[in-house]
Structure 1
Amino acid sequence: MSGPRFEPVRTVRAYERIVEQIEEAVESGSLQPGERLPSERELMAQFAVSRSTVREALRVLQARGLVRSRPGDPHGAEVLPFSPAALHKSMTTLARVDELSLGELVQFRMVLDASANLLAARLRTDEELAEMAAAIERMRAAVAGSYDEFSAADVAFHDAVAGASRNKLIQICTDVVRSIVLDLIAEKIAAAADREALMRQTIRHHEEVLAAIRAGEGLLAARLSRQSMYDYYVGYVPEEERPALRTLLE
């Protein structure tokens, strides 16, 4: 029989509907940070569900950083203000659960880091430039020693650039995507025969980026960032995903 193919429907549990309605109320502003949800008993009556269903919904909302619920509290759960930590957790879950490919993640890193470098070249302070330079020095000192120390200094450099962008979303997204990408290829990097050469190449790239940021050349800093990301990660990305990365270099 020709025609459209349909996917099996998913049974939605009652607690998920409760979560959806409360999330919508927070997003629309009907529930403001600091306000309280109705008590468990009132929620049971309003949603016509059991106490265990209400508690499961509250557990999910708390895990997402939307509310704070204390056991034995006679009042309803408190609606929490926006938190970068909550966004960080949500993004990490999204990236892992949706099984984004390594190519997609690296492509996003290229976009994020280039944007951070562009903004940092215009907005950075002398103190932030000093942080970037200090991170490169720590990377250089760690080449012949611990790869963990080198990696930590590398992260510190990118964090300093992201911080200089003055954009919290860039900072959070950069942190999340970087940690996931590194988790995916950590064993391959550790086992690489030319690891020291890669480390020295990374230092050279960072020095070039820092020079461009210090000179206020945002477009150059962004281009160098995309190129360095490509050079570092392309060997780990499946062949069929590489054209998308190369597009960002054009």
Structure 2
Amino acid sequence: MTDTAPKPSYEPITRQRTFEIIADRIRESLISQELRPGDKLPSERILAEQFNVSRPAVREAYRVLEMAGILQMKKGVKGGAFITQGNQQLLVDNMSDLLRVGNISLESMIEARIWIEQVVVRVVCERASPEDIDRLEENVVQAERSFLAHDYEAKTRLNIEFHNLMAEATGNPVLVMIMRSLTDVFMFFARRLGPESTRSTFESRQRLLMHLRNGNVEEAIAETTQNLLSVQDLYASMAEELRLASGRDEKSSN
């Protein structure tokens, strides 16, 4: 009897390359807290002896960890490989690159941002101190001053920083990192599209601050969500106008 059932296809099992094993061991030392930010790693020669590997393998492991933002390579007499505090900009650059090449859509990014903001607002209602709310209010005041002075670029920067202040008010460093990564990406697109000159965000922010002070969780979430959707529509309209203007310029040049 012939077995006609489809047979699975397996990829060959490959061994990790030496430099990958070295990099993984260093990562494990971070997890176990044998290594901490600011610590200096042994020289290539010493680490090669400890691992019983070649110096190029250690050099490649250091290079991989440097690209990942885990190590900082310093030159000079007191130089060497040092554990960093972490480089959040790598995450921002990665998300920006994925957006540029189309692996992540702007719509998906905006949707994720709205969900994360909803979590942040809920936590802020529970944890924020009066000083946290005061910082948020001062941000709104400064942004409105910039608007009245027709400094729309500063206004946009302050409006985006408001979201980072919200994340800081949660007291959760992971939410702070995620929020700052998202706002940095959106700041990149805001600069490309150009500053917008509306003041509707200020009215929304005042309502949000009132809800935060009173601990009105659902009202605060609804206000934040509606504002983000309005900003999304505004920037989508600006992007379309920019695209049409670019098309007209191209035709006139021909």
Per the normalisation by structure 2, the TM-score is: 0.71
| Post-superposition offset of 1:209 | 1.0
Match of 2:35 among 13, 27, 32: 32
SS in structure 2 opposite 1:143? helix
Equivalent position amino acid for 1:32 in 2:
L
How much is the aligned-residue C-alpha RMSD, in angstroms? 3.5
Match of 1:154 among 159, 168, 172: 159
Superposed, which structure 2 residues align to 1:15-54 within 5 Å? 15-27=19-31, 29=32, 31-33=34-36, 37-45=41-49, 46=51, 48-51=53-56, 53-54=57-58
- Counterpart position of 1:124: 128
| Post-superposition offset of 1:15 | 3.9
Equivalent position amino acid for 1:224 in 2:
E
- Gaps of at least 5 residues in structure 2 are 1-5, 238-254
- Counterpart position of 2:202: 203
| Post-superposition offset of 1:91 | 2.3
Percent identity over the alignment is 19
Structure number with greater CO (CA < 8 Å, separation at least 6) is 1
Q: Summarize the Cα distance change of 1:188–1:156 in structure 2 as closer, same or farther, 3 Å threshold.
A: closer
Alpha-carbon separation, structure 2, partners of 1:23 and 1:61: 9
SS in structure 1 opposite 2:58? helix
Equivalent position amino acid for 1:61 in 2:
L
| Post-superposition offset of 1:163 | 1.8
CA distances 1:10-34 after superposition (whole Å, capped 9, x unpaired) = 9x8754453234224433x174327
Alpha-carbon separation, structure 1, partners of 2:226 and 2:167: 17
Q: Summarize the Cα distance change of 1:233–1:132 in structure 2 as closer, same or farther, 3 Å threshold.
A: same
Match of 2:192 among 178, 187, 194: 187
Equivalent position amino acid for 1:186 in 2:
R
Superposed, which structure 2 residues align to 1:86-105 within 5 Å? 86=86, 88-99=88-99, 100-105=104-109
Match of 2:169 among 164, 170, 174: 164
Alpha-carbon separation, structure 1, partners of 2:228 and 2:135: 21
Q: Summarize the Cα distance change of 1:165–1:42 in structure 2 as closer, same or farther, 3 Å threshold.
A: same
Equivalent position amino acid for 1:222 in 2:
I
Q: Summarize the Cα distance change of 1:142–1:3 in structure 2 as closer, same or farther, 3 Å threshold.
A: farther
Equivalent position amino acid for 1:211 in 2:
M
| Post-superposition offset of 1:146 | 0.7
Alpha-carbon separation, structure 1, partners of 2:35 and 2:201: 46
1:174 aligns with 2:179: yes
CA contact (8 A) 1:110 1:229 kept: yes
Q: Summarize the Cα distance change of 1:49–1:98 in structure 2 as closer, same or farther, 3 Å threshold.
A: farther
SS in structure 1 opposite 2:199? helix
Match of 1:141 among 142, 145, 152: 145
Alpha-carbon separation, structure 2, partners of 1:188 and 1:76: 42
| Post-superposition offset of 1:38 | 4.4
Equivalent position amino acid for 2:105 in 1:
S
Aligned residues: 223
Q: Name which of structure 1's ranges 41-50 and 218-227 shifts more when overlaid on structure 2.
A: 41-50
SS in structure 2 opposite 1:32? coil
| Post-superposition offset of 1:226 | 1.6
Q: Which one has the largest radius of gyration?
A: 2
Q: Summarize the Cα distance change of 1:75–1:178 in structure 2 as closer, same or farther, 3 Å threshold.
A: closer
| Post-superposition offset of 1:44 | 2.9
Per the normalisation by structure 1, the TM-score is: 0.72
